[in-house]
Amino acid sequence: GELNLAPVSFGAIATIVAFHFGISGSGLAAHLNLWGIIVGVLVTAVIGGLVALPALRLRGLYLALATMAFGVFL
């Protein structure tokens, strides 16, 4: 029943990492390969775990403020 205000931030992290590591080719021939998607998901899972560790003790307004601060920081 708690609210996380940073899911779009995690999507942005995955997108940036997948784009950085998974683009093959250049110009109109560029395409995203499976390796970039896997690396993006793994990096996002690690960062999500690091954000979740201190947030486990928070409830209500404080959890919302902490996740919103992460989103703003990102």
Contact criterion met (CB below 8 Å) for 71 and 6: yes
pTM given for the model: 0.81
**Residue ranges per domain, the chain?**
7-73
Q: What is the pLDDT of residue 45?
A: 96
Q: Please state, in angstroms and rounded to a whole number, the distance separating the CA atoms of residues 64 and 46.
A: 20
Render pLDDT for 7-59 as a digit per residue (tens, 0 to 9).
889 999 999 999 999 998 888 888 999 999 999 999 999 999 998 888 888 88
Classify residue 68 as exposed, middle or buried by CB count within 10 Å of its CB (0-12, 13-18, 19+).
Answer: middle
